[in-house]
Structure 1
Amino acid sequence: MHIESLEYFKQIAKVKSISKVASNSHISQPALSQQVQKLEDSLGKKLFIRSNRGVKLTESGEIVLKYADNMIRTYNKMLADLNNQKSKEIKIEGEHTIATYCLPCAILNMQFKFPSHEYNLIAASSAKIEQDVLSDICEIGFTTRPVEAESLNSQEVINEKVVLISPPAFNLPEKLKLEEILEHKFVILKEDCIIKENFKAALTDLNYNFDKIDIISRLDSTEALKTLVRKGYGVAFVPYNAVRDEFSAQEINVSRITDYNLDYDIYMINKKIELLSKEATEFIANFKKLGKHICY
């Protein structure tokens, strides 16, 4: 199976059109159809149902799509490793908020200690990170949950404080009980995350339904949450590391919930030490020495 056929297959599955992919890829439509046919022949399965309105995946196509992205990225990682056999780059993936606010300062500390190391930091979901470590797409991952795979190591390395941020005009105190904030308007992330899960669990303990919360906006990023809070639209739960600068500049207020612990641990995950490069092993051993509050 040629990796190029898989790449074309993935693109067609996304846009549901062979002609559009052919145009975007500067390849003739018959040549692209031939690539798809070769892939189907090699697998012995029909992957697309063709019609005048485009194409859609068959049941077999859905299965191939499930694995195609990881196979392509693994192949590209292999090529990168072959082209950089003397490189000391360490590929690291972190859950989105961790990669944005927590890891950069920690990695800078490591860079001072190991100036010959190079670090490639990428943001991803915790589930994807675990799969990428298993597939050797990255060597080290940082997630909000311990790993499920028995072949991986995981260790708590950072404790992340979660705070309620609010506009200064709200004049909220530094310490609050959860029930004291429930009448406020909230801005939250669209996707499920550990902060939202912990918030929901605390509300359940209070016999309060999450759906009763006045949510004025569901956003894609913590940066977007901060923007709406700064503009006075509502309150939000975020990692303290994400708002230290705004808090210092008095652009927002920060409060801690006293009756529920919404903080969470960050886990470093990796394969067994004997399977890692010398550089990755050095990183892991010394990262642990930084302690759980490396970014404060």
Structure 2
Amino acid sequence: MEFRHLKYFVTVAQLRHFTKAADQIGIAQPPLSQQIKKLEHELGVDLFKRLSRGVELTRAGEIFLTDAQNILADAQRAEARVRQVARGENTQVNIGFATSTSTCIPVLEKMAMIQSDGIHFNTAEMPMPELVSQLKNKQQDLAIMRVPCYASEPFERKNLLDDPFVAVIPANHVLAECHSLQLHQLKEQTLLLFPRETGPALYDALSALLSDAGIRIQPQFASPQLRTTIAMAQAGFGIAIVPYSLAEHLDNSAVIVSIEDMTLTSQIVVAWQASNLNPQALKVVAKLNAISKAERF
């Protein structure tokens, strides 16, 4: 398989048209079609459905497109890093943020301290499953994620922040006047939780704690993400149980109330592959670790 064939395939897949793709690549349309046919023959599958006006990806083509784009992106990053090293520049560090961590001010402040020290980040925000996948495939050097997380167990990691669970209560709710709560006070309340597939380990730990307190989870009140539970609480759907960092900038539509006997604490960590060879990424980990240690004294 030739590298240029991947570029040709991705261009055709994005434009859904051979002639437009040929114009963008800078070759004639017939040779482009021949190269795609050669790639399909080599793979033993049809990647496109030829239509009267353009093309559509087959199921095999859709799957191959993701892999081809990843390969090209990896190659571009490798090329950029080599050129930076040749120029004597610091290589950049790719850092992915799990959706539930990207607005955590204490963690962002730590990253800013490192950024000002001459290290530059390429950042992205994504759901946890995608972040774990990209970290495994070394598309991200580092991941800022929330644990407990079953999928994070193979990675090296350092704790950045302990993030206790709190109750986010609609401002007009009877419990909004409380300075703190006990779990038993939530037994008859509508609790808003994220679905298990969003964070299986975190969900299992929280649901076990609530079950031990005699609180039954009502799945019809699940929300797509941790953040969404807060918006639902603000709208009056019920009480959200979330890590404090997600709720610390609420408006007056809801209040944050601590739960005295809540023993579960989420942690925000930086995670990386032990086999990561980017020295700048390991330098970031060392600096974050030093900052966290200094904060404890």
TM-score (norm 2): 0.72
- Out of 221, 233, 252, the position equivalent to 1:229 is 233
- Out of 176, 193, 198, the position equivalent to 2:181 is 176
Alpha-carbon distance in structure 2 between the residues aligned to 1:187 and 1:24: 48
1:108, distance to aligned residue in structure 2 (A): 1.8
Q: Which residue does the alignment assign to 1:124?
A: 126
Q: Does structure 2 retain, via aligned residues, the 8 Å contact 1:168–1:252?
A: yes
Helix, strand or coil: the match of 1:264?
strand
1:152-183 CA-to-partner distances (Å, cap 9, x unmatched) read 52233332222110122214224334453244
Alpha-carbon distance in structure 1 between the residues aligned to 2:292 and 2:111: 13
1:107, distance to aligned residue in structure 2 (A): 0.8
- Structure 2 gaps of 5+ residues are none
Over aligned residues, Cα RMSD in angstroms? 3.9
Residues 285-296 of structure 1: pairs in structure 2 closer than 5 A: 285-291=286-292
Q: Does structure 2 retain, via aligned residues, the 8 Å contact 1:132–1:138?
A: yes
- Out of 110, 114, 121, the position equivalent to 1:110 is 114
Alpha-carbon distance in structure 2 between the residues aligned to 1:118 and 1:109: 11
Q: Does structure 2 retain, via aligned residues, the 8 Å contact 1:187–1:219?
A: no
Q: Which residue does the alignment assign to 2:205?
A: 198
Judged with a 3 Å threshold, the aligned counterparts in structure 2 of structure 1 residues 41 and 106 are, in CA distance, closer, same or farther, namely same
1:91, distance to aligned residue in structure 2 (A): 1.9
Alpha-carbon distance in structure 1 between the residues aligned to 2:212 and 2:96: 33
Residue type matched to 1:184 in 2?
Q
Q: Which residue does the alignment assign to 1:165?
A: 168
Alpha-carbon distance in structure 2 between the residues aligned to 1:49 and 1:292: 58
Q: Does structure 2 retain, via aligned residues, the 8 Å contact 1:9–1:36?
A: no
Alpha-carbon distance in structure 1 between the residues aligned to 2:136 and 2:115: 25
Q: Which residue does the alignment assign to 2:96?
A: 93
Q: Does structure 2 retain, via aligned residues, the 8 Å contact 1:175–1:256?
A: yes
TM-score (norm 1): 0.72
Between 138-147 and 237-246, report the one with greater CA deviation: 138-147
1:15-69 CA-to-partner distances (Å, cap 9, x unmatched) read xxx45x97799769878755642431332333346678975635x5465356334
Helix, strand or coil: the match of 1:202?
helix
How many correspondences in the alignment?
277
Q: Does structure 1 retain, via aligned residues, the 8 Å contact 2:95–2:121?
A: yes
Q: Which residue does the alignment assign to 2:270?
A: 268
- Structure 1 gaps of 5+ residues are 13-17
Q: Which residue does the alignment assign to 1:15?
A: none
Residues 179-258 of structure 1: pairs in structure 2 closer than 5 A: 179-189=184-194, 192-193=198-199, 195-205=202-212, 210=217, 212-213=218-219, 215=221, 218-219=223-224, 222=227, 224-246=228-250, 250-258=252-260
